């Protein structure tokens, strides 16, 4: 697969933490659903990643896996448009992790911010383990395995995509060198013809000297158009733009998932650990109950007291769910004590229940039919393994491991 096609590949993963909530839906899953129509998408359940912190009690992982896949499917991640699988069922990830560990300096792992942060945060656990230190490298293997050019992640995971880029660069630098690489690349340039050769050299220079990413893109597009150079030459010239040898593992870019604007029931960010969430597949009655018992502006004790929406978590949800007219009605009605809080909450309950209706519909098909869910993951696994084996074959060859 050429470096250009890798721009069409998206890979992302999620730890199995159990049922998802509306924060996940608005933040991550709606984005995945959109991406699956634009790119070739691989989405996987990172059960090995869960073990890096839950090794002492893995009992909940299996149930979490099923709950999470059904949430993905309910949200509209579509097995016809994307590949969904469980990490541990594609053991090739472990082999790539091992091989990459050979070239990974310890210092790179130790200085990733999440390493110290998480150890601090999860004080009660002993995270001074080999697996925990190496988990960003496992993530590196997850990404490079599919030669994914784009990786949707939240801001907290950008440093992991960054180390992935560094490892890919190091790998290509060490193993992408063929004898006579430079000479071969130079003669390939000549084969493109005078005009294209000159353009290629200018773009290469602009990228190497000024880090101009547009020049990189243009140079890649130029190579893609060339009819009169061989596939091997084309690959060589992709690598040559960036200065190194042949690109075996392309460097991915993070696709930053916009920070979820979804507030929880208490006005803080919606999160499982704050217990302020509405489940993605929460039953309508339970949604209504949770909204009705939400705290409002603490100054608004009696129905006749005017309130201030900015001090009320209910307003935060209106900002996500309500149209301009409704928001106007809330602001005016709240500040003048013209509406009561229950009244104010009613359109919100309706909007959330309405949003969830198609999710429940889709989930229904899977909830009572575990075989269907298994077969989706089975198919995903086969497809993922084919792609994974392709990459591993190249990696093994580059590292001198293709015995015959």
Nearer to ligand SF4, 162 or 331 (CB): 331
Binding ligand SF4 (rule: CB under 6 A), the pick from 27, 279, 309, 380 is 309
Nearer to ligand SF4, 88 or 326 (CB): 326
Picked from ligand SF4, ligand TRP, none, the partner binding residue 52 (CB below 5 to 8 A depending on kind) is none
Nearer to ligand TRP, 121 or 303 (CB): 121
Burial environment of residue 305 by CB neighbours within 10 A (0 to 12, 13 to 18, 19 or more)? exposed
Q: What number of chain residues touch ligand SF4 (CB under 6 A)? A: 14
Nearer to ligand SF4, 99 or 339 (CB): 339
Picked from ligand TRP, ligand SF4, none, the partner binding residue 341 (CB below 5 to 8 A depending on kind) is ligand SF4
Cα 94 to Cα 90, 99, 284, 357, 388: the distances in Å are 8, 9, 42, 40, 11
Binding ligand SF4 (rule: CB under 6 A), the pick from 1, 133, 174, 341 is 341
Nearer to ligand SF4, 160 or 345 (CB): 345
Determine contact, residues 382/86, Cβ cutoff 8 Å.
Answer: no
**In angstroms, rounded to a whole number, what is the distance separating the alpha carbons of residues 327 and 309?**
10
Cα 14 to Cα 87, 196, 240: the distances in Å are 10, 43, 35
Here the tokens at position 397 are 């060859």
Cα 196 to Cα 193, 235, 355: the distances in Å are 6, 16, 53
CB of 49 to ligand TRP, least distance (A): 5
Nearer to ligand SF4, 116 or 319 (CB): 319
Residue appearing with tokens 């190249």: 394
Closest CA to 30 of 287, 350, 262, 291: 262
Picked from ligand TRP, ligand SF4, none, the partner binding residue 164 (CB below 5 to 8 A depending on kind) is none
Determine contact, residues 203/215, Cβ cutoff 8 Å.
Answer: yes
Write 225-232 long-range contacts (CB < 8 A, 24+): 226/192, 226/196, 228/191, 228/192, 228/193, 229/188, 229/191, 229/192, 231/2
Binding ligand SF4 (rule: CB under 6 A), the pick from 92, 233, 235, 297 is 297
What is the maximum span of the chain, computed from C-alpha positions, in angstroms? Answer: 84
Contact residues for ligand TRP (CB under 6 A)? 11-15, 46, 49, 139, 142-143, 151, 153, 157
Nearer to ligand SF4, 302 or 404 (CB): 302
What is the H or E stretch that residue 42 is in?
strand 40-45
The residues pairing with 377 across neighbouring beta strands, listed in sequence order, are none
Q: Which stretch binds ligand SF4 (CB under 6 A): 84-92, 267-275, 334-342, 352-360?
A: 334-342
Q: Report CA dihedral (235, 241, 245, 251) to the nearest 10 degrees.
A: -80
**Nearest residue to ligand TRP on Cβ basis:** 13
**In angstroms, rounded to a whole number, what is the distance separating the alpha carbons of residues 281 and 359?**
7
Q: Which stretch binds ligand SF4 (CB under 6 A): 3-11, 12-20, 190-198, 293-301?
A: 293-301
Picked from ligand TRP, ligand SF4, none, the partner binding residue 297 (CB below 5 to 8 A depending on kind) is ligand SF4
Q: Is 264 in the site for ligand SF4 (CB under 6 A)?
A: no
Nearer to ligand TRP, 134 or 316 (CB): 134
Binding ligand SF4 (rule: CB under 6 A), the pick from 136, 252, 307, 316 is 307
Which residues contact ligand SF4 by CB under 6 A?
296-297, 300, 307, 309, 312, 314-315, 330, 334, 339, 341, 344-345
């Amino acid at each position: 697969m050429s470096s250009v096609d890798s721009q069409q590949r998206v890979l992302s993963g999620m730890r199995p933490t159990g049922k998802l909530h509306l924060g996940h839906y608005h933040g991550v899953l709606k984005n995945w659903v959109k991406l699956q129509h634009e790119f070739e998408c691989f989405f996987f359940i990172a059960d090995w990643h869960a073990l890096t912190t839950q090794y002492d009690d893995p009992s909940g992982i299996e149930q979490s896996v099923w709950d999470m896949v059904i949430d993905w499917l309910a949200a509209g991640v579509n097995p016809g448009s994307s590949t969904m699988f469980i990490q541990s069922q594609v053991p090739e990830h472990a082999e790539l992790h091992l091989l990459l560990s050979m070239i990974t300096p310890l210092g790179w792992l130790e200085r990733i911010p999440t390493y110290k942060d998480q150890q601090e945060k999860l004080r009660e656990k002993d995270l001074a383990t080999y697996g925990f230190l190496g988990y960003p490298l496992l993530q590196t293997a997850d990404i490079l395995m599919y030669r994914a050019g784009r990786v949707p992640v939240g801001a907290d995971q950008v440093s992991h995509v960054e180390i992935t880029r560094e490892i890919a660069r190091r790998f290509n630098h060490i193993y992408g060198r063929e004898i006579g690489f430079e000479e071969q690349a130079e003669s390939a340039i000549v084969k493109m013809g005078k005009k294209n050769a000159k353009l290629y050299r200018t773009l290469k220079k602009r990228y190497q000297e000024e880090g101009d990413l547009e020049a990189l893109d243009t140079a890649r597009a130029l190579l893609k158009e060339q009819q009169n150079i061989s596939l091997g030459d084309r690959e060589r010239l992709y690598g040559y733009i960036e200065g190194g040898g042949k690109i075996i593992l392309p460097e991915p870019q993070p696709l930053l998932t916009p920070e979820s604007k979804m507030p929880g029931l208490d006005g803080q960010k919606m999160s499982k650990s704050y217990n302020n969430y509405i489940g993605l597949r929460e039953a309508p009655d339970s949604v209504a109950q949770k909204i009705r018992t939400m705290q409002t502006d603490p100054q608004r004790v009696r129905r006749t007291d005017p309130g201030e929406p900015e001090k009320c978590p209910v307003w935060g949800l209106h900002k996500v769910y309500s149209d301009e007219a409704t928001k106007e009605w809330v602001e005016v009605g709240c500040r003048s004590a013209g509406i009561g809080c229950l009244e104010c909450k009613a359109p919100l309950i309706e909007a959330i229940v309405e949003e969830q209706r198609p999710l429940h519909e889709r989930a229904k098909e899977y909830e009572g039919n575990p075989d269907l869910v298994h077969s989706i993951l089975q198919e995903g696994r086969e497809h993922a393994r084919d792609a994974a084996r392709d990459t591993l074959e190249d990696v093994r060859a580059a590292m001198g491991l293709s015995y015959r």
